[in-house]
């Protein structure tokens, strides 16, 4: 119904769906927060870790220190089910706040973010990385406030150290607006990965002490669809092509968008290098968390096309169709 409403509008200067926002947010919090604990592996692990912390394991510290401290603090006054609901509340509200902060058409951007397949995957299963990425979005929303910007960047890394990659990409993109060079880097990574992918993964693993990261790069998972995923590369290419058209063909200029777009290319190029890795989608997420922002942000803030509302609706439909394709 929302997409149909967008599709039929002639002008999308500002479209409010505030009446639906509260319903969507509450529904998402309950769906994610009350999802059966033992249905997915990582969620089950968080359950076990929380129970261990509850049982006075004061010296137990997880590798991601701030996430560990957050869990331990919550064990003082809530059970694990309430903790999952609280975590889903923080996660969902961070996405909503980010959307509201960067565009007046915030509900449409929020809709795009929550219908992307990674939103539920990282809200339900890989909770720690999902929560960390939501703080990264808060950092982007505060890019003009240096103190808050760096605070949320540090908070993100403290919750999950894999955020070092997107944080580095954001800082590099913020410092150097060299979009064309980032294109060259991304393109160069494809043949490099295709020819030397396995060797590159072993080299990277030798420089990293994090056991989880090393396992992803070196271990084989029989139940996981590994290999040089052309479908995922094409999926990742779409925002790059769209951003190129917005910036160089439509002359769209926006400081925040430049940082988001360039950081997407940088982080995604790293994923291309390790595309054969076990659970490579977890590396892809380090760029895909802003996938829909790259596609929608310019369209929600400036009139670039005659029938722009229809284009926005088609992007949302494409997003949902790909989500169904992944989850089928």
The predicted-structure confidence for 293-307, as pLDDT tens digits, reads as follows 999 999 999 999 988
Overall average pLDDT of the 228-247 stretch: 91
Percent of the chain with pLDDT over 90: 55
Q: What is the pLDDT of residue 246?
A: 97
Q: What is the pLDDT of residue 292?
A: 96
Average pLDDT, the chain: 85
Q: What is the pLDDT of residue 275?
A: 82
**What six digits make up the tokens of 153?**
């960047």
Q: What is the pLDDT of residue 56?
A: 65
Q: What is the pLDDT of residue 168?
A: 96
Q: What 8-state DSSP symbol labels residue 164? A: H
Q: 257: pLDDT confidence band, cut at 50, 70 and 90?
A: very high
**Spatial distance between the Cα atoms of 137 and 51, rounded to a whole number of angstroms:** 30
Overall average pLDDT of the 311-326 stretch: 88
Rg (CA), the chain: 20
Q: 214: pLDDT confidence band, cut at 50, 70 and 90?
A: very low
**Spatial distance between the Cα atoms of 51 and 37, rounded to a whole number of angstroms:** 13
Using DSSP, state whether 248 is helix, strand or coil: helix
pLDDT higher than threshold 70 for residue 98? yes
Q: What is the pLDDT of residue 199?
A: 62
Residue 112 phi, psi (nearest 5): -65, -40
**What six digits make up the tokens of 166?**
């997107």
**Which of 268, 162, 277 lies closest to 225 in space, CA to CA?**
277
Q: What is the pLDDT of residue 178?
A: 93
**Spatial distance between the Cα atoms of 216 and 201, rounded to a whole number of angstroms:** 9
Collect all residues with Cβ–Cβ distance below 8 Å to 171 and sequence separation of at least 6: 153
Overall average pLDDT of the 214-228 stretch: 53
The predicted-structure confidence for 105-148, as pLDDT tens digits, reads as follows 898 999 999 999 899 989 998 899 999 999 999 999 999 999 99
Q: Which of 85-94, 108-117, 133-142, 199-208 has the lowest mean pLDDT?
A: 199-208
Range of 20-24, 214-218, 241-245 with top mean pLDDT: 241-245
**Spatial distance between the Cα atoms of 294 and 297, rounded to a whole number of angstroms:** 6
**Spatial distance between the Cα atoms of 293 and 217, rounded to a whole number of angstroms:** 28
pLDDT higher than threshold 80 for residue 2? no
pLDDT higher than threshold 70 for residue 227? no
Q: What is the pLDDT of residue 196?
A: 64
pLDDT higher than threshold 90 for residue 260? yes
Asked whether 6 and 108 are in contact (CB, 8 A), the reply is yes
The predicted-structure confidence for 157-166, as pLDDT tens digits, reads as follows 999 998 999 9
**Which of 297, 210, 207, 192 lies closest to 252 in space, CA to CA?**
297
């Amino acid at each position: 119904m929302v997409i149909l409403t967008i599709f039929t509008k002639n002008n999308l200067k500002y479209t409010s769906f505030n009446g639906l926002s509260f319903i969507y947010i509450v529904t998402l919090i309950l769906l994610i927060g009350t999802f059966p604990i033992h249905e997915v592996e990582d969620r089950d692990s968080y359950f076990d870790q929380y129970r261990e912390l509850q049982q006075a394991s004061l010296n137990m510290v997880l590798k991601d220190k701030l996430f560990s401290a957050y869990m331990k603090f919550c064990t003082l006054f809530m059970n694990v089910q309430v903790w999952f609901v609280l975590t889903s509340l923080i996660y969902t509200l961070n996405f909503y706040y980010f959307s509201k902060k960067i565009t007046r058409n915030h509900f449409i951007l929020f809709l795009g973010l929550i219908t992307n397949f990674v939103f539920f995957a990282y809200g339900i299963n890989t909770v720690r990385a999902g929560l960390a990425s939501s703080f990264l979005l808060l950092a982007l929303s505060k890019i003009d406030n240096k103190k808050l910007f760096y605070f949320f960047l540090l908070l993100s890394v403290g919750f999950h150290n894999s955020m070092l990659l997107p944080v580095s990409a954001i800082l590099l993109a913020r410092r150097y607006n060299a979009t064309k060079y980032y294109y060259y880097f991304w393109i160069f990574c494809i043949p490099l990965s295709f020819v030397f992918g396995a060797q590159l993964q072993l080299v990277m693993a030798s420089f990293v002490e994090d056991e989880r990261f090393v396992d992803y790069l070196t271990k084989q998972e029989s139940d996981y669809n590994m290999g040089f995923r052309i479908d995922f590369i094409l999926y990742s290419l779409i925002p790059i092509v769209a951003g190129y058209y917005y910036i160089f063909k439509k002359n769209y200029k926006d400081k925040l968008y430049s940082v988001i777009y360039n950081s997407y290319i940088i982080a995604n190029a790293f994923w291309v290098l390790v595309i054969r890795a076990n659970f490579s989608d977890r590396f892809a997420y380090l760029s895909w968390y802003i996938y829909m922002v790259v596609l929608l942000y310019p369209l929600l803030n400036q009139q670039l096309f005659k029938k722009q509302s229809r284009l926005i609706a088609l992007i949302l439909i494409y997003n949902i169709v790909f989500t169904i394709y992944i989850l089928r």
